[in-house]
């Protein structure tokens, strides 16, 4: 627990939970701090390896340049799309009042 506490604090977890709009009880906060700490501890094992001369990996798949042609294909039917929304007005998605501005 002490090594994990050095990796991540309940304060860190509370901060990340707030950014992700998650409401955690004090018990959950404690539990997730422990679990996330264990994950980070596992990552430390990897850090112990000698990666000198190994290029950084951006993606686990050995693929690059997966591209498509710039050709229009039919979009979804609007009535069908809007029917799945909780609220609609003037063919737009109606959403609750936004607190704060666009980033």
List contacts with other proteins (CB under 8 A). 15-16, 19-21, 58-59, 61, 63-73, 75-76, 78, 81-82, 89-98, 100-103
Residue 10 CB coordination number (10 Å): 15
Q: How far is CA 53 from CA 26, 48, 49, 56, in A?
A: 44, 15, 12, 9
| Shortest reach from residue 55's CB to other proteins, in Å | 11
Decide: 37 and 8 in contact? Cβ < 8 Å: yes
56-59 long-range contacts, CB within 8 A, separation 24+ = none
Q: Pull the structure tokens for residue 3.
A: 């090594």
Considering the complex, state which of residue 1 and residue 19 has its C-beta at the smaller distance from other proteins. 19
Considering the complex, state which of residue 49 and residue 84 has its C-beta at the smaller distance from other proteins. 84
Considering the complex, state which of residue 21 and residue 42 has its C-beta at the smaller distance from other proteins. 21
Considering the complex, state which of residue 50 and residue 89 has its C-beta at the smaller distance from other proteins. 89
| Shortest reach from residue 2's CB to other proteins, in Å | 27
């Amino acid at each position: 627990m002490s090594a994990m506490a050095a990796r991540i604090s309940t304060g860190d977890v509370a901060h990340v939970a707030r950014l992700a709009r998650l409401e955690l009880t004090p018990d959950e906060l404690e539990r997730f701090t422990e679990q996330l700490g264990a994950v980070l501890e596992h990552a430390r094992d990897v850090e112990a390896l000698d990666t000198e001369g190994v290029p950084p990996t951006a993606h686990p798949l050995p693929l690059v340049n997966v591209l498509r042609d710039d050709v229009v294909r039919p979009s979804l039917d609007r009535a069908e799309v809007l029917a799945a929304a909780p609220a609609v007005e003037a063919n737009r998605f109606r959403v609750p009042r936004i607190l704060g501005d666009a980033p």
